[in-house]
Structure 1
Amino acid sequence: MKKLAERNPEKLIDLLLERRTFERTAVKLYDRVLSLMSASEDAQILGMLDTMQAYRDEEAEHQEWLEEQIRALGGDVNGESARSRLAATEARGIEQVILREDMELPHLFHALMAAELVDNAGWDLLTALAEEADDDEALDAFLLRQAEEEDHLEYLRETMSRYAESQVLGGALQLPTEP
């Protein structure tokens, strides 16, 4: 991350704080969805629990890793920036959907998918910056997390696709169990 931080470490910390804010929110979103999934009596929903728990744990790891990077650059992991406040505001709408008591699981999966789209875009930006700075160490770290986020997104896309097929075309719902 040294090459990436050479020119403007404060701006890099700002970007990392933004990612950290969104990852922190993602952990809360997954926790809520997991609690509702665990209460389900639907075997297909229960069959998704391990995958969704693994994704939640990856989000928590991303948050912890980002905090380590922010500290290493001299930043305050509890600090805020304009970008992190923006990320919190953006996430608040998704959070409101997921925290509502009357939401059905398909709607919660949809909201999670929206969060993962934003998450993917954030890691994509960091990856592009690391490439431009020729920072192979940062690039490898970002690519690893970006690939995990892409897996989350693809799984949620598949889930939403299967719900849509069942609702629009009829037939039995077949939710994914493995990514």
Structure 2
Amino acid sequence: MKKLAERNPEKLIDLLHERRTFERTSVKLYDRVLSLMAASEEPQVRGMLDTMQAYRDEEAEHQEWLEEQILALGGDVNAEPERSRLAAAEARGIEQVILRDGVELHHLFHALMAAELVDNAGWDLLAVLAEEADDDDALDAFLLRQAEEEDHLEYLRQTMARYAESQVLGGALQLPTEP
């Protein structure tokens, strides 16, 4: 991360804060969805719990890793820079859907998929910047987390496709159990 931080470390810290804010929000979103999934009477929904828990845990690891990077660059993890506040504001709409009572599970998966799209874009931006700075260590770290986020996104895309197939085309709902 040293090469990436050479020119403008404050701006990099700001970007890392933004990512951390969104990862922290994602943990909260996954926690809510997991609690509702665990309460479901649908065996297929409960069959997704292990995968969704693993994704939640990866989101938490991303948050912790970002905090370590911010500290290593001399940043303050308790600060709330502008980009972090903006990310929190952007996430509020998704949070409102997921935290609201009475929302059907497929709507929660859709909202979670929207969050994962933003997550993917954030990691992609960091990877592009690391590549431009010729910072292979940072690039590897970002690409690892981006690949995990892409797995989350693909699983949620499959879930949403199966809900849509069942609702639009009829037939039994066949939710994914393994990524």
Cα distance, 1:67 vs. partner? Answer: 0.1
Correspondence for 2:23: 23
Cα distance, 1:102 vs. partner? Answer: 1.2
Note if 1:64 corresponds to 2:64. yes
Unaligned runs of 5+ in 2: none
Correspondence for 1:132: 132
What are the superposed Cα offsets for residues 97-117 of structure 1, whole Å, 9 maximum, x if unpaired?
000001010000000000000
Q: C-alpha separation between the residues in 2 aligned to 1:78 and 1:54?
A: 27
Q: TM-score, normalised by structure 1?
A: 1.00
Note if 1:122 corresponds to 2:122. yes
Q: C-alpha separation between the residues in 2 aligned to 1:23 and 1:141?
A: 15
Correspondence for 2:108: 108
Correspondence for 1:157: 157
- Listed as ranges, the matches of 1:157-176 within 5 Å are 157-176=157-176
Task: Tell me which amino acid in the other structure corresponds to 1:77.
Answer: V
Note if 1:75 corresponds to 2:75. yes
Cα distance, 1:173 vs. partner? Answer: 0.4
Note if 1:12 corresponds to 2:16. no
Cα distance, 1:41 vs. partner? Answer: 1.0
Cα distance, 1:78 vs. partner? Answer: 1.3
Q: C-alpha separation between the residues in 2 aligned to 1:127 and 1:175?
A: 32
Structure 2 SS opposite 1:172: coil
Q: C-alpha separation between the residues in 2 aligned to 1:165 and 1:86?
A: 35
Task: Tell me which amino acid in the other structure corresponds to 2:17.
Answer: L
Q: C-alpha separation between the residues in 1 aligned to 2:101 and 2:166?
A: 24
Cα distance, 1:15 vs. partner? Answer: 0.1
Q: C-alpha separation between the residues in 2 aligned to 1:104 and 1:78?
A: 35
Aligned-pair Cα RMSD in Å: 0.3
Note if 1:99 corresponds to 2:99. yes
What are the superposed Cα offsets for residues 16-46 of structure 1, whole Å, 9 maximum, x if unpaired?
0000000000000000000000001100000
Q: C-alpha separation between the residues in 1 aligned to 2:55 and 2:76?
A: 26
TM superposition outliers: structure 1 runs of 4+ over 4 Å: none
Structure 1 SS opposite 2:174: coil
Q: C-alpha separation between the residues in 1 aligned to 2:96 and 2:140?
A: 34
Unaligned runs of 5+ in 1: none
Structure 1 SS opposite 2:102: coil
Q: C-alpha separation between the residues in 2 aligned to 1:61 and 1:77?
A: 15
Q: TM-score, normalised by structure 2?
A: 1.00
Q: C-alpha separation between the residues in 2 aligned to 1:56 and 1:31?
A: 7
- Listed as ranges, the matches of 1:79-90 within 5 Å are 79-90=79-90
